[in-house]
Amino acid sequence: MNDIRIPLTDKTIAQLPSPNEGWYLARDTELKGFFVVVGKRKRTFTIQGDLRQGGKRASSIRILIGNTRELTTRAARAIAKEYLAQISKGQHPKAAKQEGDASSGQVGNETNTAVAAITLRQAWQRYLEAHLVRKGRSEKTISGYRDHVERLFSEWLDTPLYELGMDPSRVAKKHDDLTKENGPYIANGSMRTLRAIYNHARKTNRSLPRDNPADAVDWNEEKRRDTGMGISDLREWFRELAVLENPVRREFHLLTLLSGSRTTALQHVRPSHIDFRRRTLHIEKPKGGRKRAFDIPLSREMILCLIRAIRFGRQMYPLQSQKWVFPGDSESGHLAETKENRETLSK
């Protein structure tokens, strides 16, 4: 792609298209010599200027400032202005930085402050792309993390992680507030998410405080829910199941019982995953990702259950049933919410 010239902001940088190969430059219309190098996987704030000696151009130097995922455009522009000012005076910024560190530490401190300006929003975006998506985490797992960050921590999205790291009492208070407003389990879960994002950000940002602010939390006690179903519960459960209004949901719950599979895995079952000749059901993306895919051997009752689900699905959801064994009205086209009212289906 050809180089372009645009006003560089966090929003415009995020919207830049990635090249199919190689890289291109997105130059800032406001500050000459300040630009972003846009590659297939990485975008880097950079400056370039002519170093002059004795009034003559000695050399043109290019200096990397930092990854766009770790620096705000405002912080990167501040560093760029400092570097370009030094270049205009005939000083190489890297040499000036070393001198500043040795004498007063001012330049080094400014750079550290800028790097530490990485916000929760930026750290979350990098954690999402570099950790969750790259490692093939399930849609449900990602959705849970997103809910914690973008809903429960919405007022912190543009807060620098450095501020949270230096004020753990603020995080502890947030946990207390979430416990009162959303319950102990959600409060604990959201703090585990914050802890993971902070730890991930610190791998590439050593200026962040070493102690994780989530460690200041007094964790709520969690107990396993005792909702198991014994043999004595089966007769009544089958009666409740038989009168469920939606036959697709009815067959879904029955297959869950017969297979012992996680509901999230069965939600994503496609017709192509069923091999009636080998009597197997392929679970393509279980918890842990595609690398843990496996086959479930099918009993006669499980096969009949799947056949009924396919027939009911074609009648009720002709379009969605082409893709899913358990179709629904959701945006994805398959059953999205599988929990029933406990008065309708007790287990």
For residue 302, the model assigns a pLDDT of: 96
Which residue has tokens 């869950």? 256
* pLDDT one-digit tens code per residue, 72-96: 888 888 888 988 888 888 887 765 4
Question: Would you kindly state where each structural domain of the chain is located, as residue ranges?
Answer: 4-115, 120-216, 231-322
CATH number assigned to the domain covering 120-216: 1.10.150
φ, ψ of residue 248 in degrees (nearest 5): -65, -45
Report how far residue 343's alpha carbon sits from residue 339's, in angstroms, rounded to the nearest whole number.
12
Report how far residue 233's alpha carbon sits from residue 334's, in angstroms, rounded to the nearest whole number.
29
148 confidence band (pLDDT: 50, 70, 90): very high
* Orientation of helix 93-103 relative to helix 73-88, angle to 10°: 100
Q: Quick count: other Cβ atoms within 10 Å of Cβ 27? A: 17
295 confidence band (pLDDT: 50, 70, 90): very high
For residue 229, the model assigns a pLDDT of: 82
Q: Which residues face 160 on adjacent strands?
A: 119
Tokens representing residue 339 in the block = 């929990």
For residue 152, the model assigns a pLDDT of: 95
For residue 115, the model assigns a pLDDT of: 46
Query: Poorest-confidence range of 3-12, 91-100, 127-136?
Result: 91-100
| Amino acid (1-letter code) at residue 16 | L
Average per-residue pLDDT for the chain: 86
Report how far residue 190's alpha carbon sits from residue 144's, in angstroms, rounded to the nearest whole number.
9
* pLDDT one-digit tens code per residue, 91-119: 877 654 444 444 444 444 444 444 446 88
* pLDDT one-digit tens code per residue, 298-327: 999 999 999 999 999 999 999 999 999 999
Contact 50, 105 (CB under 8 A): no
**Percentage of the chain exceeding pLDDT 90:** 49
For residue 95, the model assigns a pLDDT of: 56
For residue 151, the model assigns a pLDDT of: 94
3-state SS of 108-124 is: HHHHHHHHCCCEHHHHH
For residue 144, the model assigns a pLDDT of: 92
Asked whether the predicted pLDDT for residue 339 surpasses 80, the reply is yes
Question: Domain 4-115, what fold?
Answer: Double Stranded RNA Binding Domain (3.30.160)
For residue 259, the model assigns a pLDDT of: 94
For residue 278, the model assigns a pLDDT of: 95
